[in-house]
A and B are shown apart, each in its own frame.
Chain A
Amino acid sequence: MHEMAVAENIIKVIEEKLKESGPKGEVKKIDLKIGKLTCVEPEALKLSFVAASQGTPLEKASLLIRSVPVTGKCKDCKKNFCLEKLDFSCPFCGSFRIEIKTGKELFIESFEVE
């Protein structure tokens, strides 16, 4: 259940931003970008966030989670591809020598304060 740790970190980052830039009020929405390789389960994250945000200015915020697919480039045939399954081989030539381009993201893109 590292979703709880991720939820706590989201709250920490946004509380710091609120202190720095000073918009007061309740956070309504948080836009997240989460790669498929992070093993973060969106529904578990939402549930953890509800629990962890109680008593903070984020407690009413909804999470908008944009999932980022795993994409890569084959070092042998040089083709770009998207991996549907995590089998880490090039779907074109079968090579295991691949470079992962996206899928490791764990970002807060923006948040909205009312």
Chain B
Amino acid sequence: MKIQVLTDILKANQTIALENKKIFDENQILVLNFMSSPGAGKTSILEKTIQKLKKDFNFAAIEGDVATSNDAERLVKYDIPVVQITTESFGGACHLDANMVRKAIESLDLSPVQILFIENIGNLICPAGFDLGEDKKIIVLSLTEGEDKPSKYPVAFRNSDLVLINKTDLLPHLEIDLDLLLQNIKKVNPDLFSVKLSAKTHEGFENWINWLVKEYRSKI
């Protein structure tokens, strides 16, 4: 017997993502999903951002990794609520899904939170396919990764709202062609806004902070 279903395989994830979004909206929280390759500097950018804006906003963070709580430990130092998700218990999954985020927010007191950072697992493939209930998706791309990452991982770049090009302090030491990198980004997603910055020297941070504050204000 043949049974017609025509069901979206990721419908379950999508349903939970929409529920998460509703919870975030009701609590007036701007939620940002950070994606990148391992080592691009997601956690460093979050550390510097929290340092700079701690007086103005109440932050919280959800940290996704396959194993260890190293990243959560780095953020806890700034006295913000942090939940670490390790996907070891989910079979070492390479991405966060909406249900993992749901479980994480159950252990957070959301009422004082204004901006929630979700740091996805370091990987430019799978995280792009799973909505979490976030307002915006952000890609962190470091200059050491080369010009061709947007062309190699186009789906992640097409699904994102902002790309933070990190480690600009290394530019004098690298052979990377920054113009070519920007062209490659425009090719896969002409609408993707990009900000060049360095989490080490803080160069370019004001543009990222302006974007963040503007997003928060337009949401609330």
Contact = CB atoms under 8 A, between A and B. Distances in A.
Interface of A: 1-2, 4-6, 9-10, 12-14, 17, 21, 23, 32, 37-39, 86-89, 96-97, 100, 106-114
A2 B2 CA distance: 28
Nearest to A111: B3
Interface string B84-108: 0000000111110100000000000
15 contacts: A2-B95, A2-B126, A14-B5, A17-B5, A23-B1, A39-B155, A86-B155, A97-B190, A106-B8, A108-B5, A108-B7, A109-B4, A110-B3, A111-B3, A112-B1
B110 interface: no
A88 B154 CA distance: 8
Interface string B6-36: 1111111100000000000000000000000
A59 B54 CA distance: 52
Contacts of B126: 1-2, 5, 39
Given A17-B3, A88-B189, A111-B3, 6 more contacts: A1-B92, A5-B130, A106-B9, A112-B1, A112-B3, A113-B1
Contacts of A108: 5-7, 9
A113 B7 CA distance: 17
Interface in B155-212: 155, 158, 186-190
Residue in A23, A32, A39, A106 whose Cβ sees the most chain B Cβ within 10 Å: A39
B94 A2 contact: yes
Contacts of A106: 8-10
A30 B130 CA distance: 23
Contacts of A111: 2-3, 5
A5 B92 CA distance: 11
Interface residues of B, number: 33
B69 interface: no
B2 A110 contact: yes
B10 to A, nearest CB: 6
Given A87-B187, A96-B186, A38 B2 contact: no
Contact of B93 (A5, A10, A100): A5
